[in-house]
Structure 1
């Protein structure tokens, strides 16, 4: 290869086997990188918009849930107030329990009888 041919290949704008001059290839690579960055920025913006919409929707739902919980709380409080407390057995009442034929300890004429029940569960 002669000196002139080498100079012609090295000159700007000359065709080489790699698909253009090094400057053209570098420009294409930079443009591709910038295009990729642009796509990432666009997608990031879309994700942020969706996140804001989701946050707004969740905020609305949370408000509805809080309102429902407040309604249920007032219903529970009203039910608790309207139901009188259950009273236990009257401590002054005398209860008669039949103990004839049951196993017993002590004299049958005792003034107090303690009757015990168990179902073995």
Structure 2
């Protein structure tokens, strides 16, 4: 079996506007993008790839969690990019995190070690 068996390989989200999603995630996290026509865009965070598909927004899917070396600065960049904080920074065993809603209403989280 391959080393990637049963590991997250790709995340895909329907978005109302691919340009708005690119603007938000580019500004908030410095992600890069590859367009595949007007209705699909791949994103790259430097380690993981995923896609934005133009279509009906489906909030309430799985919670995707990003890691940050500096949680406070990341929260500030999310807000500056237009994200809405849905759960302010809170502690949990092993770290701290916050949740936010992106421009399409999807909830995401960002965490860091204690």
Structure 2 length normalisation: TM-score? Answer: 0.15
Of Structure 1 and Structure 2, the greater helix share is in 1
Structure 1 length normalisation: TM-score? Answer: 0.15
Which protein is bigger by CA-based radius of gyration?
Answer: 1
- Structure with larger RCO (C-alpha < 8 A, sep 6+): 2
Of Structure 1 and Structure 2, the greater strand share is in 2
